[in-house]
Amino acid sequence: MRSWFQAGVRALWKAMRRTAGTPSRPAPSSACSSACSSARSSARSSALPVALLWALGTAFAQPIHLRDDRGTEHRLPAPPQRIVTLLPSLTETAWVLGIGARLVGVDRYSNWPPQISALPRLGGLDDAQIEAIARLKPDLVLASTSARALDRLEALGFTVVRLRSESHADVQRTLGLVAQLLGTPDEAERVWARLQAELAAAAARVPAALRGRSVYFEIGGGPYAAGTTSFIGETLARLGLVNIVPRELGPFPKLNPEFIVRARPEVIMGVQREQAALRSRPGWQVLPAVQHGRLCGFDESLYEVLTRPSPRLGESAGVLADCLVRIAKAVP
């Protein structure tokens, strides 16, 4: 501890000497001497706090040590300044934690917030553009545990932190790990508290007539579903709905269409373009959700919010609650 403190003091002392002891050039004329001397003194005094902050930030930056969701340990000497994210939810996590200015590249599907639109696009889970990423010289790459194309990037010496987000607990843990990596650990608690407040507010708006109703949330055009243990399933539970997919089937199981017919969901949610075709599916015309028009179809932009395990979970809960309010008014 003493050597760390001494190093900081030395850096601070050097910064003070550089700032306060910089020799001044002779004034071009006697008429300017007084004004120029005053300007130089003002410049030195205003530059001193900036230099002190820089020196303190550099000298007292703490090393970062953590284990990612693949079990790999990472040690960083200081918070990274050049960051690449290769999953939309991780891009959104980094941005919400307040370090958007440090992002130098994102995956092809990241589209929120709009401020990232000018950043380089670097592929996806299975086709990350290794050469393009390497040219950006990131000191941190955030990726999914499912990414299969990043071993080469690690072999080149880049730090690749892989994270998994399938449940609310995963989202909270990812927030904490990314905040730790970025040197902003307190921000994770603030964001999570806001998210919980948004979830509670959305749950309070769900009409009493729809609480306890069974629900089927379709992924894409099926036959995959958001299960009870998925982050979507946990949001539905917070809203008072009962998932037709049992816990033992996992977060995003592939379902036999007959399973859905037998489960007889009372509410069906999914991407809007598939809603019109539901009645034409064998046996679906007799499902309570279809018979009574309790269908929530979401356009592409809203569906993306719903299917990303990011700090926008509270926003997605609000989108679901909006639909439940709408269908409760439309259906007697």
User: Which three-class secondary structure string do you get for 35-58?
Assistant: HHHHHHHHHHHHHHHHHHHHHHHH
Pinpoint the alpha helices (H) of the chain.
2-20, 30-60, 88-96, 130-136, 151-155, 168-182, 185-204, 231-238, 257-263, 288-291, 300-306, 313-330
Query: Pairing state of beta strands 267-271 and 224-225?
Result: unpaired
Residue bearing the bigger pLDDT, 62 or 190? 190
User: Is pLDDT at 5 greater than 80 in this prediction?
Assistant: no
User: Is pLDDT at 67 greater than 80 in this prediction?
Assistant: yes
211 C-beta neighbours (distance < 10 Å), count = 13
Mean pLDDT of the chain: 86
The dotted CATH code for 64-183 is 3.40.50.1980
Distant-in-sequence, close-in-space partners of 228: CB < 8 Å, separation ≥ 6: 234, 237, 243, 245, 246, 247
Residue range 178-230, pLDDT digits in tens? 999 999 999 999 999 999 999 999 999 999 999 999 999 999 888 899 999 99
Give the pLDDT score at 50: 39
User: Is pLDDT at 49 greater than 70 in this prediction?
Assistant: no
In angstroms, how far is CA 70 from the centroid of its own chain? 18
In angstroms, how far is CA 239 from the centroid of its own chain? 22
Give the pLDDT score at 299: 96
Average of per-residue pLDDT across 32-43? 42
C-alpha triplet 314, 180, 1: angle, nearest 5°: 155
Burial class (CB in 10 A: 0-12, 13-18, 19+), 207: middle
Enter the tokens of residue 111: 């589209």
Between CA 106 and CA 110 the distance in angstroms is 7
Give, in order, the Cα–Cα distances in Å from 254 to each of 193, 257, 305: 33, 9, 21
* Domain residue ranges of the chain, discontinuous segments joined by +: 2-60, 64-183, 203-330
Burial class (CB in 10 A: 0-12, 13-18, 19+), 306: buried
Band of residue 60 on the pLDDT scale cut at 50, 70, 90: low
Give, in order, the Cα–Cα distances in Å from 101 to each of 137, 140, 167, 197, 318: 15, 14, 28, 27, 28
User: Is pLDDT at 82 greater than 90 in this prediction?
Assistant: yes
Average of per-residue pLDDT across 62-88? 95
Residue range 261-314, pLDDT digits in tens? 999 999 999 999 998 889 899 999 999 999 999 999 999 999 999 999 999 999
Between CA 303 and CA 326 the distance in angstroms is 17
Specify the pTM.
0.81
Give the pLDDT score at 52: 45
Average of per-residue pLDDT across 49-78? 73
Q: Which residue has the tokens 């340990």?
A: 73
Q: Which residue has the tokens 């373009």?
A: 273
Give the pLDDT score at 279: 87
Average of per-residue pLDDT across 224-252? 97
Give the pLDDT score at 275: 87
Give the pLDDT score at 332: 64
User: Is pLDDT at 236 greater than 60 in this prediction?
Assistant: yes
Are domains 64-183 and 203-330 of this chain identical in fold?
Answer: yes
CATH topology of domain 203-330: Rossmann fold (3.40.50)
Band of residue 80 on the pLDDT scale cut at 50, 70, 90: very high
Between CA 74 and CA 154 the distance in angstroms is 12
Counting every residue written for the chain, the total comes to 332
Band of residue 136 on the pLDDT scale cut at 50, 70, 90: very high
Give the pLDDT score at 147: 87
Give, in order, the Cα–Cα distances in Å from 261 to each of 173, 253, 274: 36, 16, 17
